[in-house]
């Protein structure tokens, strides 16, 4: 399967357009008030209208309640939800049923033991997202530009597609793809000038670097042995 590239935390029509024109497969809208990338329901509905049919729209929430999930589903009509909080497997299943859409569940990774819940989340989520575990007391559970040790998830096959994130940027994404061979990569901070301020040139560079790395990895895999 061809690698999917997601650009997350888009907040303005011009930067969303840059992501769409660069060929992003997924665009993320953040619904988390503490994030510098938070968008209101109204703003998100406008951005979603701009993206619809051009890329999959991902609504990112953090431990959101039912009313918030339902309001986003109704007013924004995303293609998927990304759950980036402390949702337990039962809650992931509940949100999936409630919103009637596929769900990406983010798991924070710092050490091998953090992979223990992978199996139970793989039973209820459509995709697993491996992100760096934030520092204790961090304001955000993701979107911190923090990387983790990718060797922990290299070659891991949880039975559902894997999305890789955490401190990726145009310079590091190729190595991460080569090592982990994820189904998808996701970036926020690595394509910004400052938190919340997306840089169209970095978005283009990120998508191009990810596509080139994916093509190179396929060539190596498909090369005949002799
Ligand atoms: O982007 C945010 O503001 C955000 C807020 C709360 C939870 C997750 C958030 N973003 C996600 O975090 C990871 C890593 O981002 P980064 O590239 O390291 O900045 C990514 O999956 C974003 O979708």
Mean pLDDT of all residues in the chain?
A: 96
Distance CA 218, CA 202 (A): 24
182 CB near ligand 1 (under 6 Å)? no
The answer to whether residue 186 is catalytic is no
What is residue 223's predicted lDDT score, i.e. its pLDDT?
67
> Residue range 150-166: average pLDDT?
97
The answer to whether residue 8 is catalytic is yes
DSSP strand pairing (184-187 vs 4-7): parallel
Query: What is the position in ligand 1's atom list of the atom closest to the CA of 166?
Result: 18
198 CB near ligand 1 (under 6 Å)? no
Question: Among 4, 7, 9, 145, which residue has the most ligand 1 atoms within 8 Å of its CB, making it the best to mutate?
Answer: 9
Distance CA 7, CA 76 (A): 17
Kind plus residue range of the DSSP H or E element containing 59? strand 56-61
What is residue 1's predicted lDDT score, i.e. its pLDDT?
83
pLDDT digits 0-9 by tens, 114-135: 999 999 999 999 999 999 999 9
Q: Which of 87, 192, 76 is nearest to 129 (CA)?
A: 87
Catalytic residue, chosen from 25, 131, 169, 186, is 131
Distance 188 CA to ligand 1 centre (A): 6
Structural domains for the chain? 4-222 (3.20.20.70)
171-200 exposure pattern, b = at least 16 Cβ within 10 A, e = fewer: ebbbebbeebbbbbbbbbbbbbeeebebbe
Query: What is the position in ligand 1's atom list of the atom closest to the CA of 189?
Result: 19
**pLDDT cut 70: percent of the chain above it:** 97
Distance CA 32, CA 39 (A): 8
* pLDDT exceeds cutoff 70 at 46: yes
Which residue's CA lies nearest to atom 8 of ligand 1? Answer: 142
Which residue's CA lies nearest to atom 4 of ligand 1? Answer: 143
Could you tell me which residues are beta bridge partners of residue 82? 60, 104
Distance 225 CA to ligand 1 centre (A): 40
* pLDDT exceeds cutoff 80 at 35: yes
Instruction: Identify the band that residue 62 occupies on the pLDDT scale cut at 50, 70 and 90.
Output: very high
Beta strands in 84-189 (DSSP E): 103-109, 127-132, 162-164, 184-187
188 CB near ligand 1 (under 6 Å)? yes
Which residue's CA lies nearest to atom 6 of ligand 1? Answer: 142
* pLDDT exceeds cutoff 90 at 93: yes
> Residue range 164-184: average pLDDT?
97
pTM as predicted: 0.96
């Amino acid at each position: 399967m061809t690698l999917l590239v997601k650009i997350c935390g888009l907040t303005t029509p011009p930067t969303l357009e840059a992501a769409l024109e660069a060929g992003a497969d997924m665009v993320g809208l953040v619904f988390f008030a503490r994030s510098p990338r938070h968008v209101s329901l109204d703003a998100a509905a406008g951005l979603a209208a701009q993206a619809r049919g051009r890329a999959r729209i991902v609504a990112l929430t953090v431990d959101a309640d039912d009313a918030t999930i339902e309001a986003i589903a109704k007013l924004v009509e995303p293609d998927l939800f990304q759950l980036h909080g402390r949702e337990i497997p039962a809650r992931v299943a509940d949100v999936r049923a409630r919103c009637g859409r596929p769900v990406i569940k983010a798991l924070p990774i710092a050490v091998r033991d953090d992979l223990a819940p992978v199996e139970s989340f793989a039973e209820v989520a459509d995709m697993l997202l491996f992100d760096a575990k934030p520092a204790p007391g961090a304001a955000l559970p993701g979107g911190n530009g923090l990387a983790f040790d990718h060797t922990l998830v290299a070659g891991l096959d949880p039975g559902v597609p894997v999305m890789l994130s955490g401190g990726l940027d145009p310079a590091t994404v190729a190595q991460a793809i080569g090592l982990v061979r994820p189904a998808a990569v996701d970036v926020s901070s690595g394509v910004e000038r400052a938190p919340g301020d997306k840089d169209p040139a970095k978005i283009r560079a990120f998508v191009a670097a990810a596509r080139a790395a994916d093509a190179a990895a396929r060539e190596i895999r498909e090369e005949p042995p002799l």
